[in-house]
């Protein structure tokens, strides 16, 4: 006879199942709904896993069978990523990781899970190869432009436009990684707000002004940047360099944004005004990227701290 964990009530298990089912259903409608619901679904699964690992995996295998039979393979992928993500976040809480380290793990769980899952689905023929989907869309869109004689946003040469589309497709893994970071940030911050501190203590965290990427990020950026000048064509190596440059650029950009906030606060600026000043810096990406590079090269943060002492 199977004995269930007495710490988990039937109502709690049923509620978690319903929330997971709602997540799967709405994700099937739109990924936007799935992203919005993600932290709340993870919250219920976290509570369940913290109380009973058995119930946690029971729900997983209970959904896997009908999901394999009745749901689209892509939705099955998001469901598997949801569970892996919950297990990673639970481990980070139990082991006392910092919030920043958790963000790193959650980002790459989502990014690698998505990229690996999409490749598996393509390899087994569950979905059409992304290259075929992309080229079909690009050719259709270019045909529409040629038919109507102009590009909607005006003044752009059609060949330049095609090159820009091709570059976006080449950088798709990098963009997925960047998007994964923002999904991870949203999820972790929402969990920090909603977690019951008596049951699971949230991660220790640093203020955004104290965020710093290791200096090796600068070396990677410069090495990849220089190599990019000597790589041409559409090979695998070119794609790898292009995506590495994109991800390292975003890392330096966030570093620059955090240092800017640190600088404003160091100058005794009001926090509200400091946050307001970050808004234009977020959109003036080249300027913020330059700030991040200069800070990493000359250790401006350290100089300001030493000056304070």
In 3-state terms, what secondary structure has residue 2?
A: coil
Pseudo-torsion of CA 265, 267, 268, 270, nearest 10°?
A: -60
Q: Which pTM does this prediction carry?
A: 0.86
What is the predicted pLDDT for the residue at 12?
85
d(CA 34, CA 164): 29
Assign 153 a pLDDT band (cuts: 50, 70, 90).
low
What is the predicted pLDDT for the residue at 3?
39
d(CA 298, CA 80): 44
Report the candidate in 71, 76, 77, 75 with the shortest Cα–Cα distance to residue 117: 77
Asked whether 132 and 201 are in contact (CB, 8 A), the reply is: no
Q: CA-CA distances (angstroms) from residue 283 to 209, 249, 257, 265, 288?
A: 18, 14, 11, 20, 9
What is the predicted pLDDT for the residue at 156?
59
Asked whether 38 and 183 are in contact (CB, 8 A), the reply is: yes
pLDDT tens digits along 62-91: 888 777 777 777 778 888 999 999 999 999
Over 60: is that where the pLDDT of 269 sits? yes
What value does the mean pLDDT take over residues 112-124? 90
What is the predicted pLDDT for the residue at 205?
87
What value does the mean pLDDT take over residues 172-190? 95
Domain ranges of the chain: 1-126+175-205, 206-309
Over 90: is that where the pLDDT of 253 sits? yes
Assign 104 a pLDDT band (cuts: 50, 70, 90).
very high
pLDDT mean across residues, the chain: 87
Report the candidate in 146, 147, 67, 80 with the shortest Cα–Cα distance to residue 109: 80
Asked whether 107 and 247 are in contact (CB, 8 A), the reply is: no
Q: What does DSSP assign to residue 71?
A: S
Report the candidate in 37, 34, 60 with the shortest Cα–Cα distance to residue 48: 60
Asked whether 155 and 224 are in contact (CB, 8 A), the reply is: no
What is the predicted pLDDT for the residue at 67?
73
d(CA 183, CA 35): 7
Over 90: is that where the pLDDT of 255 sits? yes
What is the predicted pLDDT for the residue at 127?
83
What is the predicted pLDDT for the residue at 148?
65
The residue that leads in pLDDT, 269 or 63, is 269
């Amino acid at each position: 006879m199977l004995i269930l964990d007495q710490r988990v009530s039937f109502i709690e298990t049923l509620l978690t199942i319903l929330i997971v089912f709602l997540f799967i259903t709405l994700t099937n409608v739109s990924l936007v709904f799935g992203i919005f619901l993600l932290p709340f679904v993870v919250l219920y699964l976290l509570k369940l896993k913290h109380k009973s690992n058995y119930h946690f995996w029971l729900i997983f295998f209970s959904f896997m069978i009908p999901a394999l039979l009745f749901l689209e393979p892509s939705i099955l992928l998001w469901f598997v990523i949801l569970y892996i993500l919950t297990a990673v976040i639970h481990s980070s809480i139990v082991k006392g990781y910092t919030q920043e380290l958790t963000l790193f793990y959650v980002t790459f769980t989502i990014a690698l899970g998505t990229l690996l899952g999409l490749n598996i689905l393509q390899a087994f023929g569950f979905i059409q190869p992304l290259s075929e989907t992309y080229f079909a869309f690009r050719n259709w869109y270019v045909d529409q432009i040629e038919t109507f004689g102009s590009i909607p946003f005006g003044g752009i040469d059609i060949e330049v436009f095609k090159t820009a589309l091709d570059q976006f497709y080449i950088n798709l893994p990098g963009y997925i990684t960047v998007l994964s970071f923002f999904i991870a940030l949203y999820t972790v911050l929402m969990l920090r707000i909603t977690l019951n501190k008596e049951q699971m203590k949230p991660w220790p965290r640093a203020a955004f002004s104290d965020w710093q990427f290791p200096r090796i990020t600068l070396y990677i950026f410069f090495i990849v940047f220089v190599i990019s000048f000597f790589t041409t064509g559409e090979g695998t190596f070119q794609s790898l360099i292009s995506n590495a440059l994109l991800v390292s650029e975003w890392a330096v950009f966030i570093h620059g944004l955090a240092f800017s906030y640190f600088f404003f606060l160091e100058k005794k600026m009001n926090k509200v005004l400091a946050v307001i000043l970050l808004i234009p810096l977020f959109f003036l990406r080249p300027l913020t990227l330059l700030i991040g590079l200069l800070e990493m090269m000359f250790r401006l943060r350290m100089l300001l701290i030493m000056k304070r002492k």
